[in-house]
Amino acid sequence: MSGVSGKVVAITGASSGIGEATALELAARGAAVVLGARRTDRLSALAERIHASGGRAEVLPVDVTRRADLERLVAAAVERFERLDVLVSNAGIARTGMVAELDIDGWDAMIDVNLRGVLHGIAAALPVFRRQGRGHFVTTVSTSGLKIVPTQAVYAGTKNAVRTLLEALRQESTDGVLRTTSISPGYVRTELADYIDDPDIREQVRRRMATLGIGPDAVARAVAFAIEQPDDVEIGDITLRPASQN
């Protein structure tokens, strides 16, 4: 099965940014999308846009730190559309700062969302993929895990942990049932900076996003490219960044 049209795709972190753009891109290409996020008002508005364009979309409140929420997201896809072809794990947060600041609560939050949230998605979807004989995990990582810089140690650490997790899962799953794709965006114009507590760092990141960042639709097209490949073709890693990003 190749192409995007007709596939059923669940997306976490779908209420804004990359998740929202991915939902719009895939729905426009004929996929049925099942959208999860905490901000259900935004999800409902997004689903209305998709429906108005003739697309198919369902929404659920999802907090990826709660395993049961991911189980409900996967179950909703199977119940409504009879299967799940792709899980796009996109929910993520950034709490930047020097390690010496000991922002332990921030560390815990990033581990819970960025790493444990992905694990919860895998735990929920993997049995379904195995039962179907086909499935695809697409996960948003970051170029922060490729170029390590001060203030991003724990954030980059969670992203690299996910990168390692997906590579190990790939090696454990060479029977043709599973595909895994890591998407590593650079500066993208999203709301990610809004969650940075340090006001100076937050403003610096916002400026760089505004002047340097690419649109989230560029990442959405990369996700679609990975999904549309035939089942025997796996796009393991995609790195995309602004052409002027060093």
Q: 6 with 56: CB under 8 angstroms?
A: no
Q: Which residue type does 140 have?
A: T
Q: What pLDDT score was predicted for residue 156? A: 95
Neighbours of 120 (CB within 10 A): 24
CATH of 8-240, one of 3.40.50.2300, 3.40.50.720, 3.40.50.300, 3.30.70.20: 3.40.50.720
The answer on pLDDT for 208 being more than 70 is yes
Catalytic choice (81, 129, 137, 155): 155
Q: How far is CA 119 from CA 86, 113, 203, 231, in A?
A: 15, 10, 31, 23
Q: What is the pTM of this model?
A: 0.92
Please give the average per-residue pLDDT across 207-231, as a whole number: 90
Please give the average per-residue pLDDT across 15-23, as a whole number: 95
Q: What pLDDT score was predicted for residue 199? A: 75
Beta carbons within 8 Å of 243's beta carbon, 6+ residues apart: none
Q: What pLDDT score was predicted for residue 81? A: 97
CA distance linking residue 70 with residue 50, whole number of Å:
22
Q: What pLDDT score was predicted for residue 44? A: 96
The answer on pLDDT for 173 being more than 80 is yes
Q: What pLDDT score was predicted for residue 195? A: 65
Q: Is 155 tagged catalytic?
A: yes
